[in-house]
Amino acid sequence: MANIVVEPRTQQTSSLNLVELHPTMQVACREASQMDSIEAVVASKGMPSIGSLQKVVGETDIEKVFRYLLAKMREDLHIDNGLSNDNIRNIAKRLRTDSEIRWWLTIADVTLLCRKITSGEYGKFYGHFSEVEFNECLAKYCRERAELHRLEAEKDTPNFDLATMEEVAYTVDEDGKLVVPEAVQEKRLPPPLYLYNKDGKRTGENPKAWRQKASITKGDYAMKVSRMLMEDDKGLDLSQAIEQAVPIVERGGDDMGEIINLAEGYAASMNISNRVALDRAYGMVTRKNKKNE
């Protein structure tokens, strides 16, 4: 992707030169081009979301890259009917403005999605491919990614003691009590989230470990929210900010991660304070949850 020129059918010429883009965008494009599976994308925890990247590089660079990827996909599919340049503009705009997409997916996701469509993984299109069909492929991709993300989040405690690199087995004794591995006792590993019998079959959850994990997550959210509040009020010190952040995190509950992501987008796009953005994001998520009940 160092020096790219693509000529979609007759309407216009789409060209992209990486060196003309923001340096952060250049890095994101190069990293995205090296990822060949959804597993690789999910594992790349340092890759910023589309929304976060757009806050740094601006709309223009994001738009250029999306239009290039879509035009290249159209050329590779040899499409004679459908997916006009107007369609490409519509798709590119949706990818960078839809709050349910831009705060979750990354440049790598869009790059991989276009590659999957071109390879025929989502079906054969025989010279016709429309904006509707792209959105259907996007929905399939998002479902696959969500499932992998869920599995990643549910992964058990690492199966290896990092000090000895020997496999660690979490089991329960005949009385149903947890047999704590030496590595855990010596604090080289966190306690297991799940319990297993001697045959390796999962027998239940470890409530203490889940409570510990939840408290760590809440702590992370509280620190994030406190920093957002300190951006609003430069006179606020950390202890005061945390004191104000804790009730916000408690109110957000399990949806706090989504609320923070939305709030960051609202604050950037609407030019409002982080506190107001958090309130709006909480309201939106609450309404969405009630609608889905």
Residue 16: beta bridge partners? 4
pLDDT of residue 242: 85
Closest by CA position to 75, among listed 141, 140, 129, 1: 129
* Helical packing angle, 50-57 and 23-33, nearest 10°: 150
Asked if 252 and 259 count as a contact pair (C-beta separation under 8 A), the reply is yes
Asked if 222 and 245 count as a contact pair (C-beta separation under 8 A), the reply is yes
Q: Please report, for the chain, the start and end positions of each structural domain, with discontinuous segments joined by +.
A: 3-153, 156-205, 211-292
Closest by CA position to 134, among listed 71, 60, 49, 47: 71
pLDDT of residue 81: 75
Q: Which residues contact residue 222 at a Cβ distance below 8 angstroms, ignoring those fewer than 6 apart?
A: 242, 245, 246, 249
pLDDT of residue 206: 67
pLDDT of residue 253: 83
Question: Considering the entire predicted model, what is its pTM?
Answer: 0.52
Q: Each residue's pLDDT tens digit in the chain (293 positions)?
A: 444 433 333 344 456 788 888 888 888 898 999 998 988 887 776 678 898 888 888 999 999 999 999 999 999 888 877 789 999 999 999 999 887 788 778 999 999 999 999 999 998 888 788 899 998 999 889 888 877 766 665 554 444 444 444 445 555 566 655 566 565 555 545 556 666 666 666 666 666 666 655 555 677 788 888 888 988 888 888 888 888 888 898 888 878 888 888 888 888 777 788 999 899 889 888 888 887 66
pLDDT of residue 153: 54
